[in-house]
Structure 1
Amino acid sequence: MKYAHGEYVVSRCGAIMAVQAQGPWNLECVVKFAEDYLSEREGLAGNRWGDIVFVTGESLFVPDAADALKSLVKSVMKLGLSHIAVVLGNSTVRSSTKMQLEKIYNSLGIAHVFVETNDQAVHWLESEGYLVDKRALAIHYLKSPTNPN
């Protein structure tokens, strides 16, 4: 986990970027996350990909962090990000998190879904045509003390 007022783990799993994030998040954390996310996604250059974002804890953004996340999503949409599945199962502030992310995603016009479990997220992304490397995803989840499996 990377820490800067908020924690996260990010990995590439096939045509999916997997993110485990525990909030709340400030601008410093989102900026560092953006650097790590962009570095991990380099292997997807020229291809479209989806995200699975598993949020835990008090999964909220302060306003400047939300703006930074919106800028990140907008920039990576130009590189190929086209679908985001957000797993809310372990968020302690689910409806607030959903409202905050829904506002960002709707303003950008990116396809997204909010689900309760990892399996639901994987199923939705596979139904949208993505290849999810489930072995890499399982390894990704072992990197975090907030392992959802």
Structure 2
Amino acid sequence: MAKYLNKQHGEFSLKMIQDLVLTNAVGPWNLECIVQFGLRYGESVYSTKATKWADIIMLQGESLLVPEAERDLQVRIARAIQTGLRHVAVVMCKSEVKTTAKMQMTRIYKDLPATIAFFESLEEAMDWVTEHGYRCERADVEAFFSESI
């Protein structure tokens, strides 16, 4: 009998700096990747006992989720919002599926009580989270995104 192994599709790196969670994500992503992301996110955020934070997410590559990964991510995001996630800045890198990826992210956050905004550059995203009261050490944020993945 043949065995079929589900392999993770998609890559990410994640780091929490003060009250910002930074995620550099290269898609497309399947459920296995989202499960691993959820575990890492939980380890990074929930152990700090933070009560309010923001995400800066950089989407690269073919930034789409398969349907089961999208559903799972929405559940994980809802849990994060219940514990303190308030603002999400998404940097949309060049991609053939940029419009579709933006629609998918909008759909994921549609009924959730967090504010999501889309940006063309990391600088704009950093400005936005700073305007919303988060501590953004620009050099550290830029270093993370230039060195990760």
**Superposition TM-score, scaled by structure 2 size:** 0.89
Matched positions, count: 143
Letter in 2 for 1:139: A
Contact 2:19 2:50 in 1 (8 A): no
2:78 equivalent to 1:104: no
Q: Distance in 2 between matches of 1:62 and 1:12?
A: 26
Q: Which residue of 1 is the match for residue 79 of structure 2?
A: 75
When structure 1 is superposed on structure 2, of 87-96 and 4-13 the one drifting more is 87-96
2:123 equivalent to 1:119: yes
SS at match of 1:108: coil
2:18 equivalent to 1:14: yes
* Aligned equivalent of 2:8, options 4, 9, 24: 4
Say which one has the larger Rg. Answer: 2
SS at match of 1:85: strand
CA RMSD of aligned residues (A): 1.5
Cα distance change of structure 1 residues 31 and 50 upon mapping to structure 2, 3 Å threshold? same
**Superposition TM-score, scaled by structure 1 size:** 0.89
Name stretches of at least 5 consecutive residues in structure 1 with no aligned partner: none
2:38 equivalent to 1:39: no
Runs of 4+ deviating beyond 2 Å: 89-92, 133-136, 142-145
2:86 equivalent to 1:85: no
When structure 1 is superposed on structure 2, of 50-59 and 84-93 the one drifting more is 84-93
Letter in 1 for 2:74: K
* Aligned equivalent of 1:129, options 129, 133, 138: 133
- 1:31-68 C-alpha deviation (Å, 9 max, x unpaired): 00000011111354142000000000000000000001
* Aligned equivalent of 1:23, options 3, 27, 31: 27
SS at match of 1:137: helix
SS at match of 1:107: coil
Q: Distance in 2 between matches of 1:20 and 1:46?
A: 21
Q: Distance in 2 between matches of 1:59 and 1:66?
A: 12
2:50 equivalent to 1:50: no
